[in-house]
Amino acid sequence: MRLTLSLFLIAFSFYGNAQQTKKALFIGNSYTASNNLVQMIANMAQSTGDSLIYDTHTPGGNRFLNHAANPTVFNKIRGRDWDFVSLQGQSQEVAFDSLTFYRDVYPNVKILCDTIRANHTCSQPLLFTTWGRQNGDASNCAFLPYLCTYQGMDSALTTNYTLLAQSNETEMSPVGPVWRYIRNQFPSINLYAPDGSHPSLAGSYASACTFYSMIFKKDPSTISWNSSLSASVADSLKIAAKRIAYDSLAKWDFSQLYPKASFSMNPLGGFQLQFQLDSLALIDSIKWEFGDGNHSTQANPSHTYATGGTYQIQLKNYHCGKVDSVSKSFTFILSALEKKDVRIESGLIFPNPVGDLLNLNLVEDQLKNPVIQIYSSSGILIKGLNQTENIDVSDLKKGIYMLLLFDDNRLLKNQLFIKSN
């Protein structure tokens, strides 16, 4: 059988609007505890019909080395099969020099991430990417000049949290980048408490919108709970989280939990195809769409089509709440397709070469529901007709074509013809 294939990879994931329940643990310090951030996220989820089950551990000032040495942290990690575990270090440490970073931060984040995954395969560490202080870090400015400004400190935090996410194959909650967008686009909104470090109510609300986007993979503009903020302020913060976090989900995801959708297909004769997954790794469930309204959840199904034509096959693989999808289009055209007996002379098409009108040389009118399909030499369907006489091909360009004759969805005959003008 001759089969024409086109491959289109649909990368990345795609989440519907169905109600979701997520379980998340938040390990951090006062930045996470301020204004009851986690309850804010839960309130936002409730307003959209979702639900957040959560626990927290947020002792003030705790660093990653404190978290990684605290039995309470490990007990909480092992307390549930969490969907996400948010990890937040002390507000300055991730921006410090390389020596401090690789001595105090990097190894302890790895310990925490390894523990999270050892507890439950699908648990995803989620790095709480914090923000630069309002006017930079004055206490360390003399030692690390790049910390003297908000921009320098904020850039260092985002860069190093990204490095941690890449190294540990985690997701990031890009709160710092969302704050930077707000500072640039909505400068009248004050994100900081009076100390210039901790979040104001607006700052925590922006953080919560970001976490909602990353945990539920949903548009934060659908949130209807505004806390005690004005609608205009809350809407501005939602816009920021949408543009930076939700609209760029893939940018903040360095995880390796994605099921890789890939398959092959082989003809079995007639209009039947056998489909084969290239790998069963990282797959919880499968859905095939065969392009004719039928589907399957089997690993390696076969499918019989009612008639020839062009179909689009789509495979979706699901794992740990994520999905990867791939599509292949194919066209059934002739040579080894099953043929049925019917009294048709060997020269089906006349005249051949063809001018503007094409006819079929039928000995007897035995056809009940004839269908004519005309394909280009590259296998593209050009025409589909129900007539067998005086077929207008004046619009076809000069070249070689293939005609297929079906009756009651059965392939009867095929023949090449030449369009002469």
157 vs 175, 209, 348, CA distance in Å? 11, 20, 74
Overall domain count for the chain: 3
CATH number at residue 383: 2.60.40.3080
What amino acid is encoded at 273 in this protein? L
What is the pTM (predicted TM-score) of this model? Answer: 0.68
The answer to the question of residue 16 being in a domain is no
Residue ranges making up the domain that contains 58: 21-252
Band the pLDDT of 399: cuts 50, 70, 90.
confident
Do 203 and 54 fall into the same domain? yes
The answer to the question of residue 10 being in a domain is no
The answer to the question of residue 338 being in a domain is no
Angstrom distance (rounded) from CA 65 to CA 57: 14
What amino acid is encoded at 337 in this protein? L
The answer to the question of residue 243 being in a domain is yes
Do 325 and 348 fall into the same domain? no
Please compute Rg for the chain using Cα positions: 31
Which residues are CB-contacts of 187 (< 8 A; sequence separation ≥ 6)?
Answer: none
Do 271 and 179 fall into the same domain? no
Band the pLDDT of 160: cuts 50, 70, 90.
very high
Q: Percent of the chain beyond pLDDT 70?
A: 89
Comparing 121-130, 257-266, 349-358, the range with the smallest average pLDDT is 257-266
Residue that the structure tokens 């979040």 belong to: 199
Q: What is the mean pLDDT of residues 172-200?
A: 98
CA 359 to chain centre: 50
Comparing 150-159, 208-217, 335-344, the range with the smallest average pLDDT is 335-344
Do 201 and 328 fall into the same domain? no
The last residue of one of the domains, among 307, 333, 359, is 333
CATH number at residue 288: 2.60.40.10
Give the tokens for residue 305: 């089509």
Do 41 and 105 fall into the same domain? yes
Q: What is the mean pLDDT of residues 88-104?
A: 97
Which pLDDT belongs to residue 334?
47
Q: Percent of the chain beyond pLDDT 90?
A: 59
More confident residue, 305 or 144: 144
Report the 3 state secondary structure along 179-213: HHHHHHHCCCCCCECCCCCCECHHHHHHHHHHHHH
Do 352 and 268 fall into the same domain? no
The answer to the question of residue 5 being in a domain is no
Per-residue pLDDT of 16-63, as tens digits, reads: 467 999 999 999 999 999 999 999 999 999 999 999 999 999 999 999
For the chain, how many residues are written?
Answer: 421
Angstrom distance (rounded) from CA 370 to CA 411: 10
The answer to the question of residue 1 being in a domain is no
Which pLDDT belongs to residue 81?
94
Is residue 10 scored above 60 in pLDDT?
A: no
Per-residue pLDDT of 284-317, as tens digits, reads: 788 999 998 999 999 899 998 877 677 889 998 8
Do 112 and 235 fall into the same domain? yes
The answer to the question of residue 186 being in a domain is yes
Do 374 and 274 fall into the same domain? no
The DSSP code sequence of 66-94 is HHTT-HHHHHHHTTS--SEEEE---TTGG
Do 301 and 232 fall into the same domain? no
Q: State the CB neighbour count (10 A cutoff) for residue 260.
A: 14
Helices (H) and strands (E) in the chain, counts: 10, 20
Per-residue pLDDT of 220-262, as tens digits, reads: 999 999 999 999 999 999 999 999 999 999 999 998 766 678 8
Which residues are CB-contacts of 112 (< 8 A; sequence separation ≥ 6)?
Answer: 27, 64, 67, 68, 73, 77, 85, 87, 125
40 close to 84: Cβ distance less than 8 angstroms = no
CATH number at residue 152: 3.40.50.1110
Buried b / exposed e over 293-330, threshold 16 CB at 10 Å, is eeebeeeebebebeebbbbebbbbbbbbbbbbbbbbeb
SS3 124: strand
The answer to the question of residue 12 being in a domain is no
Comparing 73-77, 218-222, 325-329, the range with the smallest average pLDDT is 325-329
Is residue 322 scored above 80 in pLDDT?
A: no
Buried b / exposed e over 32-46, threshold 16 CB at 10 Å, is bbbbebbebbbbbbe
Do 368 and 329 fall into the same domain? no
Comparing 94-108, 174-188, 383-397, the range with the smallest average pLDDT is 383-397
Do 267 and 364 fall into the same domain? no
The last residue of one of the domains, among 252, 269, 301, is 252
Band the pLDDT of 83: cuts 50, 70, 90.
very high
Which pLDDT belongs to residue 269?
64
CA 90 to chain centre: 32
Beta 21-27 vs 51-57: how paired, if at all? parallel
CA torsion 116-54-210-214 (nearest 10°) is: 50
Comparing 39-43, 349-353, 404-408, the range with the smallest average pLDDT is 404-408
Do 41 and 178 fall into the same domain? yes
pLDDT averaged over every residue in the chain? 87
Which pLDDT belongs to residue 364?
55
What sign does the CA torsion over 240, 245, 247, 252 have?
Answer: positive
The last residue of one of the domains, among 281, 313, 333, is 333
